[in-house]
Each structure stands twice: as structure tokens, then as C-alpha cells.
Chains A and B, each alone.
Chain A
């Protein structure tokens, strides 16, 4: 839960006693924010959401399996009625919920999940009854598009999550036509207001957090597939993925920066993991292919649109990164540097493999040591371990990197090792001085 709310709760009694606000306003504030400081409150909220989704999903899944058995004794009209019956029931319950103004999370999540599954049941069973072939990607897209409004109208999470997964599957399966895959972006745009809408009251609530996890993971997969052609053909993938992971991380740091637990930081976690992974890949000389970019390759309007879509991510990320500098948020600055470095590296890598790879080796060492130092200074074991992990990864990569000669590697390892021992001595001295 947010540190700010915790702070607010600590301030409330003082504010009331000093007459800054009347007691009922303080009470109303407490009601509005719920009981955030207590882990028990958050756990209960998670339990309610997960149990309603699980319950409804199990019932729906059971119905799907029962119907998939294919009861031959049933006539076609009976099967037609059975196909749409669960959906009609779900719609009736949903309408009743809205009519009676029931806002409980358990009801909405449960009914929303059930209705989502009922849509899938109806489409599948009709396909079974009439022996319709149909492709899996078309099925997923129809299902996802029909389910998404339920997310908004009932405020249910599962339809929104299914939608994200559905459009990702569709993008992967839509086939050879690369132009069609670009539709992923407008489709994604339909789901983004859900994040904004559910995080208005409390952005650390399980509902937006769960959605953001799925969003970050599916985006990392689907955007790459949607732009696959231009990323590969024009070799701009380092710039794109650097921008994507950097943007995820910085957006998370900017709007979800006060999270107290790791699971409340979906965008930061996925973004940071992606950024480090990408940097490791780019620290190999073979990742760079000089001479692949030619301005003459931009010939069609589609290429222009694709390149514009690619550029949006690093541009937005670098804009946020500049903000991190002005706020002096150094851990953000370090991880968020990947988009800018990818642009610089790509400009260098177009000329020479060594320059591109060298830049990312330097960056990874700086990132590892910087994270380590911040962790030590703030006495946070998790951060120390993250710094160690980055260093260990880059060291392992270089140890097995056959592009470099044994002598070069040997000397470099010894020099870096001496550097570590020296740093350690300096740190110990500092610590001694502090005592």
C-alpha cells in the first residue's frame, strides 16, 4: 500500500486535534482509502478477487469440458439453446447487478468472469454443432472483443486480462500479412483506459496491479511480433526494445513508485528485467550488424508508419528519463538509461560491432556497481543482490565470449578483480569512519 496513505493516516489524528479538519472528514478519508496500512486488509482484498475469478472460471471451464464431450443424443435445436443459455444467464445476472447497484468486488469479478467464459462457450459450441473449421486466432479475437466491454461496464478484471492475452495470441497467429499485425496497437489502445480507470482510487489495489502485470508481459511479446518485419529488416530492434523496456520501467517508477512490496511494481519489474536482458544481449558483438541500415529502404508508407511506431517508445522513454534526472532519482536514472544508450549504441553499432558492444559492457558494469552501492548505502539487501546479479551475469557472458582472446579476457578479469578488492577496502574504511 502507498506510503503516502500511511503517512496520511499518521497525520490524521494530529490534524483533527489541531482543528485543521473536522473529525468526520478524517473518518470519511479513512473510509475512502480503506484500511491500507494493514497487510491483512490487502490480503483479504486479494483473496476476494482471486476466489471470485477462480470460482467462476472453474464453473465456466467445467461447462466447456462437459459440452466438448459432444452429446450426440441432443438434437441441433437443443444444442443451439444450450450454447447461448450460459451467456443469457450471465447477462441477466450482470444486468441485475447494475440495476440494483451492487458494487461488491466479489459479485462483479465473479459475474464478469462467468460472462466472459460464457461468450467463449457459445462460440465454441456453435462451431462444434455446425462443424465450423475456423482459425484459433479469429476465435480469440472475436471472444476478446466481445468480452472487453464487460470489463468496463462491470469493472471486472478477468475480461480485461483475457482481452490482453487474446490480442497477443491474435497478433502471433494472424499470419503472413505484416500490415494486419499492426492492428495490435489500436487494439491495445482499447484496453489501456481500463488501467487508468481502475487505478484512479488506489493504484496499488490488486485490480490494476494484476492488470498491469499481464499488460507488461503481453506487451513485451506482442509489440515485437507486430513490428517484427521492420525490426528485423532495418535492424532497429535494439532501439525499439530499449525504448519499450525503458518506458515500462520509467512509467512504473513515475506512477507506481511508492509501492511497498515487489508484486506491486509490475511495470518496474518487467521493464528492469527486460532492460538488463536486452543489455546483456547487446553486450555481444554479434548482436550488432553494421551496414544493415539504408535510408533507401524506407519506400512504402507502411514502413514509415512502422518506424513511427518504433520511435514512439524510445522518445517517450527518454522524455521520462530526463524527468528522473531532474528529480535526482538515481536508481531510475541508471535503469532508465537503456533507451538513450540503445539509440547511441545503434548509431555506433551501425558503424562498428565493437563500439556498440563496448558501450553496453561499460553500461552493465556501471549499472551493477551503481545498484550495489545504492543497496549498500540504503542497507537494502534486495538491491544489493540485484546489483550482484547484474555483475555476475555480465562477467559470465564475457568469460564465455569467444569473440575475445584468452589473454585479453584474462587481463581484463584480473584488472576488474583488483578494482573490486580496492573498492571493498575503501568501503570498509568508510564504514570504519562512520562508526
Chain B
């Protein structure tokens, strides 16, 4: 093949390869800067990913909502759940719909299973990445202070999430209401 054509093709391919990560950065920076803040109650543990490092796996409490009347949703279907904050800023799920809601904040989710008119769903974020030495400590802290099943604590564990146009990006993870990194620093200083 002609060197110039080959060179041109290579530059085009390299541009696409770079455009994929750059557009990801752009999109998520935009959500973090201009998205609405919500808190999601969580239950973290800490697994490991060879490519991305240590993370705290997040499970969210009460991820279910009623399906909008007159609609039906299959399992493993893409759906949208409407959101509104309660008095303390915690996210309250409204209803599940198959189409993008016209007003208000919402998240794009995947339905899992459900009975009657209610459906369970999976939120589009479930990993919080941390320094490899801190992630296990964050898990220990959770075990001590986290939300126990059925129990209510005054200072719960939650993820701070920015939401915009159906996408959510985790900004921080809070244990007993304090950002996890600060929490770990204080805990280390107190020892």
C-alpha cells in the first residue's frame, strides 16, 4: 500500500483510539461538574481488578421501584428510574419506565427481577476505586460502622453520586457521614 495512504489511515485509527478515552473523560467530567448530587445508601466490600486495581464493591439498599402504570418491563431490560431527594439528600426512587422521563432527574438502569408491579434493578455504578493499601481498611471501617441489615444508624454509609441525563458518577464514599479517605486518616491519627 502507498505509504501516504497507510500513514493517513494510521492517523485516523489513532484519532479514533484517542477519541474513545477522551470522550469518556469529557462526559464524566461534565457530570461531576454540573450533575445533581444524590446520596445512595450502600454496603461495601473490597474486591480486586487486575486492570483497574482495588475497589470497594457497592451494593445499594432498596433498589426497586414500581413500574409505571400501563407499561411492562422484561428482565435484563434497559429502563429509567425517576429520582428525587428526601430531606437529608438521600435518593428516593420514583417509578420505572421504558422511555426517558420528560422532567426531573433519572437514572438509566438494568432491570433484574421482580414480582407484581415492582421490579428490582441494578444501578449503573457499583465500584469505588481506592488506593490499594486503603481499600481493605475501608472495608474494615464499613464492617464496624456500616448499615446493618434491618438496623438503623444515625450516621449511615453512603455514596455521593452526581446525576445528569440518566448517568451517574460516584464522587465519594462516606462512612458515618465522613468521606472515606478523611475517615481513614482520622482513624489512623487516633490510633
Contact = CB atoms under 8 A, between A and B. Distances in A.
B16 A146 contact: yes
Interface in B1-36: 3, 6-7, 9-11, 13-14, 16-18, 20-22, 24-25, 28-29, 32
Contact of A80 (B25, B124, B132): B25
Given A91-B17, A94-B10, A153-B13, A131 B127 contact: yes
A80 B25 CA distance: 7
B2 to A, nearest CB: 11
A70 B131 contact: yes
B18 A84 contact: yes
Interface in A119-142: 119-120, 122-133, 139, 142
Interface stretch (A5-13, A95-103, A289-297, A369-377): A95-103
B131 A69 contact: yes
Main SS at interface, chain A: helix
A127 B52 contact: yes
A382 to B, nearest CB: 39
B37 interface: no
Contacts of A125: 52
A91 to B, nearest CB: 4
B51 A133 contact: no
Interface in A64-94: 64, 67-72, 76, 80, 83-84, 87-88, 91, 94
B137 interface: no
Contacts of A91: 10, 14, 17-18
Contacts of A83: 21, 25
B170 A68 contact: no
A59 to B, nearest CB: 16
Interface of A: 64, 67-72, 76, 80, 83-84, 87-88, 91, 94-95, 98-99, 101, 115, 119-120, 122-133, 139, 142, 146, 149-150, 153-154, 175-176
A157 B88 CA distance: 56
A71 B16 CA distance: 27
A234 B6 CA distance: 47
B148 interface: no
Contacts of B9: 149, 153
A1 to B, nearest CB: 27
Given A83-B25, A95-B10, A146 B129 contact: no
Contact of B7 (A95, A128, A176): A95
Interface string B41-84: 00000000111111100000000000000000000100000000
25 contacts: A68-B132, A69-B132, A70-B53, A70-B130, A70-B132, A84-B22, A84-B25, A87-B17, A87-B18, A91-B10, A91-B18, A95-B10, A98-B7, A98-B10, A101-B3, A120-B51, A124-B52, A126-B28, A127-B52, A128-B55, A129-B129, A130-B28, A131-B169, A153-B10, A153-B13
A131 B51 contact: no
A149 B18 CA distance: 13
Most buried by A among B10, B16, B134: B10
A275 B170 CA distance: 51
A71 B131 contact: yes
B128 interface: yes
B8 to A, nearest CB: 9
A133 to B, nearest CB: 5
B126 interface: yes
Contact of B17 (A70, A76, A146): A146
Interface in B92-142: 124-132, 134
A150 B129 contact: no
A122 B20 CA distance: 9
B53 A68 contact: yes
Contacts of A153: 6, 9-10, 13
Contact of B125 (A71, A87, A98, A133): A133
User: Closest 8 interchain pairs by CB?
Assistant: A68-B53, A91-B14, A122-B21, A131-B170, A124-B51, A130-B28, A149-B13, A128-B129
A120 B13 CA distance: 15
Given A87-B18, A132-B125, A133-B124, A69 B10 contact: no
Contact of A130 (B11, B132, B169): B169
B16 A68 contact: no
